[in-house]
Structure 1
Protein backbone atom coordinates (compact mmCIF):
# COMPACT_ATOMS: atom_id res chain seq x y z
CA UNK A 1 0.00 0.00 0.00
CA UNK A 2 1.40 3.40 -0.94
CA UNK A 3 1.34 6.30 1.49
CA UNK A 4 -0.54 9.30 0.15
CA UNK A 5 -1.65 12.76 1.23
CA UNK A 6 -4.03 14.09 -1.39
CA UNK A 7 -5.40 17.63 -1.09
CA UNK A 8 -8.95 18.22 -2.26
CA UNK A 9 -8.70 22.02 -2.29
CA UNK A 10 -8.75 22.58 -6.02
CA UNK A 11 -11.02 19.61 -6.51
CA UNK A 12 -13.70 20.89 -4.14
CA UNK A 13 -13.59 24.62 -4.61
CA UNK A 14 -12.04 25.25 -7.99
CA UNK A 15 -15.29 25.34 -9.93
CA UNK A 16 -17.44 27.55 -7.72
CA UNK A 17 -20.08 29.35 -9.81
CA UNK A 18 -20.31 33.13 -9.88
CA UNK A 19 -23.65 34.70 -9.05
CA UNK A 20 -24.52 38.14 -10.35
CA UNK A 21 -27.60 39.78 -8.88
CA UNK A 22 -29.75 42.02 -11.03
CA UNK A 23 -30.92 45.05 -9.09
CA UNK A 24 -34.07 46.92 -10.12
CA UNK A 25 -33.62 50.40 -11.48
CA UNK A 26 -33.90 53.19 -8.91
CA UNK A 27 -36.53 55.75 -9.86
CA UNK A 28 -35.01 58.51 -7.74
CA UNK A 29 -33.77 59.54 -4.31
CA UNK A 30 -36.15 59.34 -1.38
CA UNK A 31 -36.38 62.30 0.95
CA UNK A 32 -35.59 61.25 4.55
CA UNK A 33 -38.88 62.77 5.60
CA UNK A 34 -40.74 60.43 3.23
CA UNK A 35 -38.79 57.31 4.17
CA UNK A 36 -41.06 56.26 7.03
CA UNK A 37 -44.21 56.42 4.92
CA UNK A 38 -42.52 54.45 2.12
CA UNK A 39 -41.42 51.65 4.47
CA UNK A 40 -44.75 51.57 6.30
CA UNK A 41 -46.60 51.25 3.00
CA UNK A 42 -44.72 48.01 2.36
CA UNK A 43 -44.77 46.61 5.90
CA UNK A 44 -48.50 47.29 6.30
CA UNK A 45 -49.57 45.37 3.21
CA UNK A 46 -52.30 42.76 3.90
CA UNK A 47 -50.06 39.86 2.89
CA UNK A 48 -47.75 40.78 5.78
CA UNK A 49 -50.47 40.94 8.43
CA UNK A 50 -49.01 37.94 10.29
CA UNK A 51 -45.40 39.06 9.90
CA UNK A 52 -43.18 40.89 12.37
CA UNK A 53 -40.71 43.55 11.31
CA UNK A 54 -37.62 44.81 13.09
CA UNK A 55 -36.15 47.73 11.15
CA UNK A 56 -33.60 50.42 11.96
CA UNK A 57 -32.33 52.76 9.26
CA UNK A 58 -29.59 55.31 9.81
CA UNK A 59 -26.80 56.76 7.65
CA UNK A 60 -23.26 55.42 7.98
CA UNK A 61 -21.94 58.92 8.56
CA UNK A 62 -23.99 59.72 11.67
CA UNK A 63 -26.10 58.26 14.46
CA UNK A 64 -29.25 59.99 13.26
CA UNK A 65 -32.12 57.50 13.12
CA UNK A 66 -34.10 57.90 9.91
CA UNK A 67 -36.60 55.14 10.63
CA UNK A 68 -37.29 52.71 13.46
CA UNK A 69 -39.89 49.96 13.70
CA UNK A 70 -39.65 47.58 16.67
CA UNK A 71 -35.88 47.90 16.40
CA UNK A 72 -35.42 47.19 20.12
CA UNK A 73 -37.18 43.83 20.02
CA UNK A 74 -35.46 40.46 19.71
CA UNK A 75 -35.94 38.34 16.59
CA UNK A 76 -34.58 34.97 15.57
CA UNK A 77 -31.80 35.87 13.10
CA UNK A 78 -32.63 35.22 9.47
CA UNK A 79 -30.33 34.51 6.55
CA UNK A 80 -29.17 38.12 6.36
CA UNK A 81 -26.95 37.35 9.37
CA UNK A 82 -24.89 35.24 6.96
CA UNK A 83 -23.58 38.54 5.60
CA UNK A 84 -21.94 39.27 8.95
CA UNK A 85 -20.48 35.76 9.13
CA UNK A 86 -19.15 36.07 5.59
CA UNK A 87 -17.61 39.48 6.29
CA UNK A 88 -15.93 38.20 9.46
CA UNK A 89 -14.55 35.13 7.66
CA UNK A 90 -13.28 37.29 4.79
CA UNK A 91 -11.50 39.64 7.18
CA UNK A 92 -10.09 36.90 9.41
CA UNK A 93 -9.20 34.23 6.83
CA UNK A 94 -8.68 36.23 3.66
CA UNK A 95 -10.11 35.89 0.16
CA UNK A 96 -7.81 33.02 -0.83
CA UNK A 97 -8.59 30.73 2.11
CA UNK A 98 -9.58 27.18 1.24
CA UNK A 99 -11.08 24.54 3.52
CA UNK A 100 -8.70 21.58 3.55
CA UNK A 101 -9.93 17.99 3.38
CA UNK A 102 -7.08 15.52 3.79
CA UNK A 103 -6.84 11.97 2.53
CA UNK A 104 -4.46 9.45 4.10
CA UNK A 105 -3.70 5.76 3.73
CA UNK A 106 -2.64 3.32 6.44
CA UNK A 107 -0.49 0.22 6.50
CA UNK A 108 -3.62 -1.93 6.76
CA UNK A 109 -4.88 -0.79 3.37
CA UNK A 110 -7.52 1.56 4.76
CA UNK A 111 -8.20 5.01 3.34
CA UNK A 112 -8.93 7.86 5.75
CA UNK A 113 -10.71 11.10 4.84
CA UNK A 114 -10.31 13.84 7.46
CA UNK A 115 -12.87 16.61 7.11
CA UNK A 116 -12.64 20.19 8.36
CA UNK A 117 -16.11 21.46 7.57
CA UNK A 118 -16.18 21.74 3.78
CA UNK A 119 -19.90 21.71 2.83
CA UNK A 120 -19.28 21.18 -0.88
CA UNK A 121 -18.17 17.52 -0.88
CA UNK A 122 -20.46 15.38 -3.03
CA UNK A 123 -20.40 12.00 -4.72
CA UNK A 124 -18.90 13.69 -7.77
CA UNK A 125 -15.81 14.76 -5.81
CA UNK A 126 -15.37 11.27 -4.34
CA UNK A 127 -15.47 9.74 -7.81
CA UNK A 128 -12.83 12.22 -8.91
CA UNK A 129 -10.76 11.28 -5.86
CA UNK A 130 -11.00 7.61 -6.81
CA UNK A 131 -9.68 8.48 -10.28
CA UNK A 132 -6.77 10.39 -8.74
CA UNK A 133 -5.90 7.45 -6.51
CA UNK A 134 -5.95 5.09 -9.47
CA UNK A 135 -3.57 7.37 -11.33
CA UNK A 136 -1.22 7.09 -8.35
CA UNK A 137 -1.24 3.31 -8.64
CA UNK A 138 -3.74 2.60 -5.84
CA UNK A 139 -6.28 0.14 -7.19
CA UNK A 140 -7.73 -1.33 -3.99
CA UNK A 141 -8.86 0.02 -0.62
CA UNK A 142 -9.92 -2.25 2.23
CA UNK A 143 -12.07 0.22 4.19
CA UNK A 144 -12.98 3.86 3.62
CA UNK A 145 -12.99 5.60 7.01
CA UNK A 146 -14.25 9.14 7.59
CA UNK A 147 -12.65 11.24 10.32
CA UNK A 148 -15.35 13.52 11.76
CA UNK A 149 -13.45 14.62 14.88
CA UNK A 150 -12.41 18.14 13.83
CA UNK A 151 -15.60 19.85 15.06
CA UNK A 152 -16.66 19.29 18.65
CA UNK A 153 -20.04 20.00 20.25
CA UNK A 154 -23.62 19.84 19.00
CA UNK A 155 -24.24 19.05 15.34
CA UNK A 156 -27.47 21.08 15.47
CA UNK A 157 -27.60 24.65 16.75
CA UNK A 158 -29.73 24.54 19.93
CA UNK A 159 -31.08 28.01 19.13
CA UNK A 160 -32.66 27.00 15.82
CA UNK A 161 -36.41 26.77 15.51
CA UNK A 162 -37.75 23.21 15.28
CA UNK A 163 -39.31 23.99 11.89
CA UNK A 164 -35.87 24.95 10.54
CA UNK A 165 -34.41 21.66 11.75
CA UNK A 166 -36.93 19.81 9.57
CA UNK A 167 -35.79 21.59 6.39
CA UNK A 168 -32.90 20.59 4.17
CA UNK A 169 -30.94 23.71 5.10
CA UNK A 170 -31.28 22.70 8.76
CA UNK A 171 -29.30 19.47 8.37
CA UNK A 172 -26.74 18.78 11.13
CA UNK A 173 -23.33 20.37 10.64
CA UNK A 174 -20.19 18.36 11.22
CA UNK A 175 -16.60 18.36 10.05
CA UNK A 176 -17.09 15.73 7.33
CA UNK A 177 -20.24 16.52 5.38
CA UNK A 178 -21.38 14.64 2.30
CA UNK A 179 -24.07 15.74 -0.15
CA UNK A 180 -24.95 18.55 2.29
CA UNK A 181 -25.85 15.88 4.88
CA UNK A 182 -29.18 15.35 3.12
CA UNK A 183 -30.87 12.44 1.37
CA UNK A 184 -33.40 13.03 -1.40
CA UNK A 185 -36.71 11.22 -0.95
CA UNK A 186 -39.73 10.92 -3.24
CA UNK A 187 -43.09 11.06 -1.41
CA UNK A 188 -46.12 9.71 -3.25
CA UNK A 189 -49.73 9.87 -1.95
CA UNK A 190 -51.65 6.63 -1.45
CA UNK A 191 -55.25 5.93 -0.46
CA UNK A 192 -56.69 8.45 2.00
CA UNK A 193 -55.63 7.56 5.53
CA UNK A 194 -52.68 5.47 4.38
CA UNK A 195 -49.01 6.47 4.83
CA UNK A 196 -47.25 8.14 1.92
CA UNK A 197 -45.05 5.93 -0.20
CA UNK A 198 -41.43 6.83 0.49
CA UNK A 199 -38.89 6.08 -2.23
CA UNK A 200 -35.19 6.87 -2.22
CA UNK A 201 -34.13 8.98 -5.21
CA UNK A 202 -30.97 6.86 -5.19
CA UNK A 203 -32.16 3.22 -4.93
CA UNK A 204 -28.77 2.04 -3.63
CA UNK A 205 -29.50 3.85 -0.35
CA UNK A 206 -32.64 1.81 0.35
CA UNK A 207 -30.87 -0.81 2.46
CA UNK A 208 -28.60 1.70 4.21
CA UNK A 209 -31.26 3.74 6.02
CA UNK A 210 -34.32 2.89 8.08
CA UNK A 211 -37.20 5.38 7.88
CA UNK A 212 -39.96 5.76 10.44
CA UNK A 213 -42.92 6.78 8.30
CA UNK A 214 -45.65 8.54 10.30
CA UNK A 215 -47.15 10.37 7.32
CA UNK A 216 -50.83 10.19 6.35
CA UNK A 217 -52.41 10.71 2.94
CA UNK A 218 -55.21 13.32 3.14
CA UNK A 219 -57.91 14.56 0.78
CA UNK A 220 -57.37 17.29 -1.77
CA UNK A 221 -59.15 19.95 0.31
CA UNK A 222 -57.59 19.00 3.65
CA UNK A 223 -54.65 20.80 5.20
CA UNK A 224 -51.28 19.23 4.54
CA UNK A 225 -47.81 19.46 5.99
CA UNK A 226 -44.63 17.52 5.31
Structure 2
Protein backbone atom coordinates (compact mmCIF):
# COMPACT_ATOMS: atom_id res chain seq x y z
CA UNK A 1 0.00 0.00 0.00
CA UNK A 2 2.83 2.38 0.92
CA UNK A 3 4.48 1.53 -2.39
CA UNK A 4 1.31 2.50 -4.29
CA UNK A 5 1.04 5.77 -2.36
CA UNK A 6 4.69 6.53 -3.04
CA UNK A 7 4.26 5.73 -6.73
CA UNK A 8 1.19 7.93 -6.97
CA UNK A 9 3.01 10.82 -5.30
CA UNK A 10 5.98 10.36 -7.62
CA UNK A 11 3.81 10.39 -10.75
CA UNK A 12 1.82 13.37 -9.50
CA UNK A 13 5.05 15.24 -8.87
CA UNK A 14 6.37 14.38 -12.35
CA UNK A 15 3.13 15.46 -14.02
CA UNK A 16 3.10 18.70 -12.07
CA UNK A 17 6.66 19.41 -13.18
CA UNK A 18 5.84 18.80 -16.85
CA UNK A 19 2.66 20.88 -16.65
CA UNK A 20 4.75 23.63 -15.09
CA UNK A 21 7.13 23.39 -18.02
CA UNK A 22 4.25 23.76 -20.50
CA UNK A 23 3.02 26.82 -18.64
CA UNK A 24 6.51 28.31 -18.42
CA UNK A 25 7.37 27.76 -22.10
CA UNK A 26 4.13 29.06 -23.62
CA UNK A 27 3.97 32.05 -21.28
CA UNK A 28 7.57 32.76 -22.28
CA UNK A 29 6.68 32.74 -25.97
CA UNK A 30 3.85 35.19 -25.29
CA UNK A 31 6.11 37.50 -23.27
CA UNK A 32 8.69 37.50 -26.09
CA UNK A 33 6.32 38.13 -28.98
CA UNK A 34 3.03 39.77 -27.97
CA UNK A 35 2.89 40.67 -24.26
CA UNK A 36 0.27 43.39 -24.76
CA UNK A 37 -2.06 41.50 -27.13
CA UNK A 38 -5.21 39.73 -25.97
CA UNK A 39 -4.37 36.04 -26.29
CA UNK A 40 -6.56 33.00 -25.67
CA UNK A 41 -5.20 29.47 -25.79
CA UNK A 42 -6.39 26.01 -24.87
CA UNK A 43 -4.46 22.77 -25.36
CA UNK A 44 -6.19 19.46 -24.65
CA UNK A 45 -4.94 15.88 -24.72
CA UNK A 46 -7.42 13.69 -26.58
CA UNK A 47 -5.64 10.58 -25.31
CA UNK A 48 -5.45 11.58 -21.65
CA UNK A 49 -8.72 13.53 -21.56
CA UNK A 50 -7.15 16.49 -19.76
CA UNK A 51 -6.30 20.13 -20.27
CA UNK A 52 -2.56 20.70 -20.69
CA UNK A 53 -2.64 24.49 -20.84
CA UNK A 54 -5.16 27.30 -21.00
CA UNK A 55 -5.08 31.08 -20.99
CA UNK A 56 -8.22 33.21 -21.27
CA UNK A 57 -9.87 30.03 -22.53
CA UNK A 58 -13.44 31.16 -21.88
CA UNK A 59 -13.07 34.71 -23.17
CA UNK A 60 -14.56 35.36 -26.61
CA UNK A 61 -12.32 36.41 -29.48
CA UNK A 62 -12.67 37.46 -33.10
CA UNK A 63 -11.58 34.19 -34.75
CA UNK A 64 -11.01 35.25 -38.39
CA UNK A 65 -10.87 32.30 -40.80
CA UNK A 66 -10.64 29.56 -38.18
CA UNK A 67 -14.42 30.06 -38.04
CA UNK A 68 -14.57 28.23 -41.39
CA UNK A 69 -14.27 24.99 -39.39
CA UNK A 70 -17.80 25.58 -38.11
CA UNK A 71 -19.08 26.37 -41.62
CA UNK A 72 -17.76 23.13 -43.08
CA UNK A 73 -18.89 20.92 -40.22
CA UNK A 74 -22.40 22.42 -40.20
CA UNK A 75 -22.71 22.08 -43.99
CA UNK A 76 -21.59 18.45 -43.89
CA UNK A 77 -24.25 17.90 -41.24
CA UNK A 78 -27.14 19.81 -42.87
CA UNK A 79 -26.40 19.23 -46.57
CA UNK A 80 -24.30 16.06 -46.50
CA UNK A 81 -20.89 15.27 -47.98
CA UNK A 82 -22.49 14.16 -51.26
CA UNK A 83 -24.35 17.45 -51.78
CA UNK A 84 -23.68 19.16 -55.13
CA UNK A 85 -24.57 22.69 -56.24
CA UNK A 86 -26.74 22.68 -59.38
CA UNK A 87 -26.76 25.31 -62.13
CA UNK A 88 -29.71 24.82 -64.46
CA UNK A 89 -31.05 26.08 -67.77
CA UNK A 90 -34.87 25.98 -67.89
CA UNK A 91 -37.57 27.43 -70.14
CA UNK A 92 -41.12 28.62 -69.56
CA UNK A 93 -44.22 28.50 -71.76
CA UNK A 94 -43.65 32.05 -72.99
CA UNK A 95 -40.31 31.24 -74.61
CA UNK A 96 -38.09 32.71 -71.92
CA UNK A 97 -34.87 30.92 -71.01
CA UNK A 98 -33.62 30.99 -67.40
CA UNK A 99 -30.10 30.47 -66.12
CA UNK A 100 -30.79 29.40 -62.54
CA UNK A 101 -27.99 29.76 -60.03
CA UNK A 102 -27.54 27.89 -56.77
CA UNK A 103 -24.58 29.83 -55.42
CA UNK A 104 -21.99 27.39 -56.77
CA UNK A 105 -18.61 28.97 -55.95
CA UNK A 106 -16.75 26.59 -58.26
CA UNK A 107 -18.58 27.29 -61.54
CA UNK A 108 -16.14 27.86 -64.41
CA UNK A 109 -16.41 29.19 -67.96
CA UNK A 110 -15.89 25.64 -69.21
CA UNK A 111 -18.86 24.49 -67.11
CA UNK A 112 -20.97 27.23 -68.70
CA UNK A 113 -19.93 26.15 -72.20
CA UNK A 114 -20.78 22.54 -71.36
CA UNK A 115 -24.23 23.69 -70.24
CA UNK A 116 -24.73 25.38 -73.61
CA UNK A 117 -23.56 22.26 -75.45
CA UNK A 118 -26.33 20.26 -73.74
CA UNK A 119 -29.01 22.51 -75.24
CA UNK A 120 -30.97 21.26 -78.23
CA UNK A 121 -32.34 24.54 -79.58
CA UNK A 122 -31.54 27.24 -82.12
CA UNK A 123 -33.80 30.08 -80.96
CA UNK A 124 -34.75 31.77 -77.68
CA UNK A 125 -37.80 33.88 -78.55
CA UNK A 126 -38.15 35.46 -75.14
CA UNK A 127 -35.68 36.91 -72.67
CA UNK A 128 -32.59 35.36 -71.13
CA UNK A 129 -33.41 35.59 -67.41
CA UNK A 130 -30.96 35.15 -64.56
CA UNK A 131 -32.59 33.45 -61.57
CA UNK A 132 -30.72 34.56 -58.44
CA UNK A 133 -33.51 33.69 -56.00
CA UNK A 134 -31.58 31.02 -54.08
CA UNK A 135 -30.02 33.84 -52.01
CA UNK A 136 -32.47 36.19 -50.32
CA UNK A 137 -30.22 39.11 -49.40
CA UNK A 138 -27.13 41.00 -50.50
CA UNK A 139 -23.55 39.92 -51.14
CA UNK A 140 -22.01 41.71 -48.14
CA UNK A 141 -22.01 39.89 -44.83
CA UNK A 142 -22.81 41.51 -41.46
CA UNK A 143 -19.84 43.27 -39.91
CA UNK A 144 -17.61 43.22 -43.00
CA UNK A 145 -15.25 46.14 -43.50
CA UNK A 146 -16.94 48.48 -45.95
CA UNK A 147 -13.63 49.92 -47.17
CA UNK A 148 -12.01 46.55 -47.94
CA UNK A 149 -10.64 46.63 -51.48
CA UNK A 150 -11.92 43.73 -53.63
CA UNK A 151 -9.25 41.08 -54.22
CA UNK A 152 -9.15 37.37 -55.05
CA UNK A 153 -9.80 36.53 -51.41
CA UNK A 154 -12.59 39.12 -51.01
CA UNK A 155 -14.56 39.04 -54.27
CA UNK A 156 -18.30 39.83 -54.32
CA UNK A 157 -20.51 36.74 -54.12
CA UNK A 158 -23.66 35.90 -56.06
CA UNK A 159 -26.12 33.13 -56.79
CA UNK A 160 -24.29 32.98 -60.15
CA UNK A 161 -20.52 33.03 -59.67
CA UNK A 162 -18.04 32.36 -62.46
CA UNK A 163 -14.27 31.79 -62.42
CA UNK A 164 -14.20 32.73 -58.74
CA UNK A 165 -15.47 36.16 -59.85
CA UNK A 166 -11.89 37.09 -60.66
CA UNK A 167 -10.62 37.41 -64.24
CA UNK A 168 -7.27 38.78 -65.52
CA UNK A 169 -6.23 39.75 -61.98
CA UNK A 170 -9.40 41.82 -61.65
CA UNK A 171 -12.36 41.23 -59.31
CA UNK A 172 -15.73 40.98 -61.04
CA UNK A 173 -17.96 43.41 -59.15
CA UNK A 174 -21.25 42.17 -60.67
CA UNK A 175 -20.80 38.40 -61.01
CA UNK A 176 -24.34 37.60 -62.16
CA UNK A 177 -24.25 40.13 -65.02
CA UNK A 178 -20.81 38.86 -66.02
CA UNK A 179 -22.07 35.27 -66.02
CA UNK A 180 -25.19 36.20 -67.97
CA UNK A 181 -23.19 38.04 -70.64
CA UNK A 182 -20.80 35.12 -71.03
CA UNK A 183 -23.71 32.68 -71.21
CA UNK A 184 -25.37 34.69 -73.96
CA UNK A 185 -22.09 34.87 -75.86
CA UNK A 186 -21.68 31.10 -75.60
CA UNK A 187 -25.23 30.61 -76.90
CA UNK A 188 -24.56 32.84 -79.89
CA UNK A 189 -21.31 31.05 -80.70
CA UNK A 190 -23.29 27.79 -80.77
CA UNK A 191 -25.71 29.38 -83.22
CA UNK A 192 -28.56 29.98 -80.79
CA UNK A 193 -30.36 33.27 -81.52
CA UNK A 194 -31.48 35.22 -78.44
CA UNK A 195 -34.25 37.64 -79.40
CA UNK A 196 -34.93 39.10 -75.95
CA UNK A 197 -32.85 40.88 -73.33
CA UNK A 198 -30.83 39.73 -70.34
CA UNK A 199 -32.91 40.27 -67.19
CA UNK A 200 -33.22 39.04 -63.64
CA UNK A 201 -36.23 37.10 -62.37
CA UNK A 202 -37.43 33.92 -60.73
CA UNK A 203 -38.18 30.86 -62.84
CA UNK A 204 -41.74 29.51 -62.49
CA UNK A 205 -42.18 26.09 -60.88
CA UNK A 206 -43.63 24.78 -64.16
CA UNK A 207 -40.45 25.36 -66.18
CA UNK A 208 -38.94 22.64 -68.35
CA UNK A 209 -35.39 21.54 -67.59
CA UNK A 210 -33.10 21.92 -70.62
CA UNK A 211 -29.61 21.42 -69.10
CA UNK A 212 -27.92 21.01 -65.76
CA UNK A 213 -24.41 21.26 -64.30
CA UNK A 214 -23.45 19.78 -60.93
CA UNK A 215 -20.46 20.81 -58.84
CA UNK A 216 -18.06 18.43 -57.16
CA UNK A 217 -19.44 16.91 -53.92
CA UNK A 218 -19.38 19.12 -50.84
CA UNK A 219 -16.63 17.04 -49.23
CA UNK A 220 -14.36 17.99 -52.16
CA UNK A 221 -15.38 21.66 -52.09
CA UNK A 222 -14.56 21.60 -48.37
CA UNK A 223 -10.93 20.84 -49.22
CA UNK A 224 -10.67 23.99 -51.34
CA UNK A 225 -12.48 25.97 -48.66
CA UNK A 226 -10.30 24.94 -45.70
CA UNK A 227 -6.93 24.26 -47.31
CA UNK A 228 -6.97 27.58 -49.21
CA UNK A 229 -9.15 29.43 -46.69
CA UNK A 230 -11.44 30.42 -49.56
CA UNK A 231 -13.92 33.10 -48.49
CA UNK A 232 -16.15 32.80 -51.56
CA UNK A 233 -16.59 29.06 -51.04
CA UNK A 234 -17.22 29.54 -47.32
CA UNK A 235 -19.86 32.25 -47.71
CA UNK A 236 -21.71 30.54 -50.56
CA UNK A 237 -21.89 27.32 -48.55
CA UNK A 238 -22.92 29.25 -45.42
CA UNK A 239 -25.80 30.97 -47.21
CA UNK A 240 -26.80 27.77 -48.99
CA UNK A 241 -27.73 26.26 -45.63
CA UNK A 242 -30.54 28.79 -45.25
CA UNK A 243 -30.67 31.20 -48.17
CA UNK A 244 -29.68 34.32 -46.23
CA UNK A 245 -27.03 35.50 -43.79
CA UNK A 246 -29.45 35.24 -40.87
CA UNK A 247 -30.69 31.77 -41.81
CA UNK A 248 -27.14 30.60 -42.42
CA UNK A 249 -26.28 31.81 -38.92
CA UNK A 250 -29.25 29.90 -37.52
CA UNK A 251 -28.15 26.73 -39.32
CA UNK A 252 -24.59 26.86 -38.03
CA UNK A 253 -25.52 27.82 -34.49
CA UNK A 254 -28.25 25.16 -34.30
CA UNK A 255 -25.68 22.54 -35.35
CA UNK A 256 -23.30 23.76 -32.65
CA UNK A 257 -26.11 23.64 -30.10
CA UNK A 258 -26.59 19.97 -30.97
CA UNK A 259 -22.95 19.55 -29.96
CA UNK A 260 -23.77 21.46 -26.74
CA UNK A 261 -21.65 24.40 -27.79
CA UNK A 262 -23.54 27.58 -26.97
CA UNK A 263 -22.91 31.22 -26.12
CA UNK A 264 -21.02 32.17 -29.29
CA UNK A 265 -21.78 34.20 -32.39
CA UNK A 266 -21.33 33.12 -36.02
CA UNK A 267 -22.69 35.64 -38.56
CA UNK A 268 -20.89 34.66 -41.77
CA UNK A 269 -19.21 31.62 -43.26
CA UNK A 270 -15.73 32.97 -43.82
CA UNK A 271 -14.83 34.71 -40.57
CA UNK A 272 -14.50 38.10 -42.28
CA UNK A 273 -16.96 39.72 -39.88
CA UNK A 274 -15.78 41.47 -36.73
CA UNK A 275 -19.10 40.41 -35.15
CA UNK A 276 -18.06 36.76 -34.89
CA UNK A 277 -17.14 35.80 -31.33
CA UNK A 278 -15.93 32.44 -30.03
CA UNK A 279 -13.68 31.24 -27.23
CA UNK A 280 -10.74 28.80 -27.23
CA UNK A 281 -12.80 26.57 -24.92
CA UNK A 282 -15.68 26.46 -27.42
CA UNK A 283 -13.32 25.74 -30.32
CA UNK A 284 -11.55 22.91 -28.49
CA UNK A 285 -14.89 21.43 -27.46
CA UNK A 286 -15.93 21.51 -31.12
CA UNK A 287 -12.67 19.89 -32.25
CA UNK A 288 -13.08 17.15 -29.64
CA UNK A 289 -16.59 16.43 -30.96
CA UNK A 290 -15.42 16.42 -34.60
CA UNK A 291 -12.23 14.37 -34.18
CA UNK A 292 -13.83 11.39 -35.95
CA UNK A 293 -15.06 13.36 -38.99
CA UNK A 294 -13.02 12.06 -41.92
CA UNK A 295 -14.37 14.70 -44.31
CA UNK A 296 -13.42 17.55 -42.00
CA UNK A 297 -10.00 16.18 -41.06
CA UNK A 298 -9.01 15.47 -44.68
CA UNK A 299 -9.96 19.04 -45.67
CA UNK A 300 -7.61 20.68 -43.15
CA UNK A 301 -4.27 22.20 -44.20
CA UNK A 302 -1.04 20.37 -43.33
CA UNK A 303 2.48 21.86 -43.34
CA UNK A 304 4.40 21.29 -46.56
CA UNK A 305 1.26 20.56 -48.58
CA UNK A 306 -0.95 22.80 -50.69
CA UNK A 307 -2.78 25.35 -48.60
CA UNK A 308 -2.27 28.01 -45.95
CA UNK A 309 0.26 25.93 -43.96
CA UNK A 310 2.38 25.07 -46.99
CA UNK A 311 5.32 27.26 -45.96
CA UNK A 312 4.89 27.07 -42.19
CA UNK A 313 6.30 24.88 -39.40
CA UNK A 314 9.06 23.31 -41.48
CA UNK A 315 9.17 19.54 -41.08
CA UNK A 316 6.33 19.36 -38.57
CA UNK A 317 3.96 17.00 -40.40
CA UNK A 318 1.64 15.51 -37.79
CA UNK A 319 -0.59 18.54 -37.57
CA UNK A 320 -3.88 19.48 -39.24
CA UNK A 321 -4.99 23.02 -38.49
CA UNK A 322 -7.02 25.96 -39.76
CA UNK A 323 -5.39 29.35 -39.92
CA UNK A 324 -7.06 32.73 -39.48
CA UNK A 325 -5.86 36.22 -40.29
CA UNK A 326 -7.31 39.74 -40.30
CA UNK A 327 -5.90 43.12 -39.35
CA UNK A 328 -4.84 42.68 -35.72
CA UNK A 329 -6.26 39.15 -35.60
CA UNK A 330 -4.56 35.77 -35.96
CA UNK A 331 -5.65 32.25 -35.04
CA UNK A 332 -4.63 28.63 -35.41
CA UNK A 333 -6.90 25.75 -34.40
CA UNK A 334 -6.69 22.03 -35.03
CA UNK A 335 -5.11 18.69 -34.21
CA UNK A 336 -1.51 17.72 -33.44
CA UNK A 337 0.19 14.40 -32.74
CA UNK A 338 3.37 14.61 -30.68
CA UNK A 339 6.58 12.83 -31.62
CA UNK A 340 5.72 10.19 -29.00
CA UNK A 341 2.23 9.67 -30.43
CA UNK A 342 0.07 11.74 -28.08
CA UNK A 343 -2.99 13.17 -29.84
CA UNK A 344 -3.77 16.77 -28.93
CA UNK A 345 -6.24 19.41 -30.01
CA UNK A 346 -5.66 23.12 -29.57
CA UNK A 347 -6.98 26.62 -30.22
CA UNK A 348 -4.85 29.76 -30.33
CA UNK A 349 -6.50 33.18 -30.74
CA UNK A 350 -4.57 36.46 -30.85
CA UNK A 351 -6.46 39.76 -31.01
CA UNK A 352 -5.31 43.35 -30.87
CA UNK A 353 -1.67 43.00 -31.87
CA UNK A 354 0.28 45.76 -33.64
CA UNK A 355 3.08 43.68 -35.15
CA UNK A 356 3.27 42.05 -38.57
CA UNK A 357 0.96 39.06 -38.80
CA UNK A 358 3.83 36.89 -40.00
CA UNK A 359 5.67 37.46 -36.73
CA UNK A 360 2.66 36.35 -34.68
CA UNK A 361 2.28 33.25 -36.82
CA UNK A 362 5.94 32.23 -36.92
CA UNK A 363 7.18 33.32 -33.51
CA UNK A 364 4.10 32.50 -31.44
CA UNK A 365 1.69 30.05 -33.09
CA UNK A 366 4.33 27.95 -34.86
CA UNK A 367 6.66 27.95 -31.84
CA UNK A 368 3.85 26.70 -29.63
CA UNK A 369 3.10 23.88 -32.07
CA UNK A 370 6.76 22.86 -32.32
CA UNK A 371 6.99 22.84 -28.53
CA UNK A 372 3.80 20.77 -28.17
CA UNK A 373 5.06 18.26 -30.72
CA UNK A 374 7.98 17.40 -28.41
CA UNK A 375 5.97 16.88 -25.24
CA UNK A 376 6.63 13.53 -23.52
CA UNK A 377 3.76 11.03 -23.36
CA UNK A 378 3.99 10.98 -19.57
CA UNK A 379 2.19 14.31 -19.51
Question: What TM-score bracket applies, with the shorter chain setting the length?
Answer: 0.5 to 0.7
Could you list the runs of 5+ residues in structure 2 that have no partner in the other structure? 1-17, 171-180, 183-379
Matched, 1:138 2:125: no
Query: How far apart are residue 78 of structure 1 and its match?
Result: 1.6
Q: Distance in 2 between matches of 1:45 and 1:184?
A: 43
User: Deviation of residue 119 (structure 1)?
Assistant: 0.8
**Structure 1 residue 127 displacement after superposition:** 0.9
Could you give the per-residue CA deviations for residues 100-139 of structure 1, whole angstroms, max 9, x where no partner exists? 2222023454321111221111211111111121xxx323
What is the match of residue 98 of structure 2? 112
TM-score of the pair, normalised by structure 2? 0.34
> 2:85 matched to which residue of 1?
99
Displacement, 1:167? 3.4
Residue 159 (str. 1) matches residue 134 (str. 2): no
Partner Cα distance (2:153, 2:23) in 1: 34
Query: Secondary structure, in 3 states, of the residue corresponding to 2:70?
Result: helix
Structure 1 contact 155–174 (Cα < 8 Å) conserved: yes
Structure 1 unaligned runs (5+)?
Answer: 1-30, 187-203, 206-226
SS of equivalent residue, structure 1 residue 90:
helix
Q: Tell me the TM-score normalised to structure 1 length.
A: 0.54
- Answer yes or no: is 1:39 the counterpart of 2:56: no
Q: Deviations over 1:51-103 (max 9, x none)?
A: 65332223457885432234344432221211121111112222211122222
Distance in structure 1 (CA, Å) of the matches to 2:39 and 2:148: 19
**2:163 paired with 1:176:** no
Indicate the RMSD between aligned Cα atoms, in angstroms: 3.3
For residue 54 of structure 2, give the secondary structure of its aligned residue in structure 1.
strand
Q: CA deviation at 1:151?
A: 1.1
**Other structure's SS at 2:57 match:** coil
By relative contact order (CA 8 Å, sep 6+), the higher-ranking structure is 2
Deviations 1:1-42 (A, max 9, x none): xxxxxxxxxxxxxxxxxxxxxxxxxxxxxx544333443455
CA distance 1:63–1:124, shift in 2 (3 Å):
same
Aligned-residue offset at 1:166:
3.5
Q: 1:67 to 1:155 in 2, by over 3 A?
A: same
SS in structure 1 of the partner of residue 39 of structure 2: coil
Q: Deviations over 1:139-191 (max 9, x none)?
A: 344543211111112321122234656433223333222232334447xxxxx
Tell me the distance in 1 between the aligned counterparts of 2:35 and 2:109: 44
CA contact (8 A) 1:121 1:180 kept: yes
Deviation at 1:49, TM superposition (A): 7.4
Displacement, 1:45?
A: 5.1
C-alpha contact (below 8 Å) 2:87/2:101 kept by paired residues: yes
Across the two proteins, how many residue pairs are aligned to each other?
154
**Structure 1 residues 163 and 71: CA distance shift in structure 2, 3 A:** farther
CA contact (8 A) 2:150 2:156 kept: no
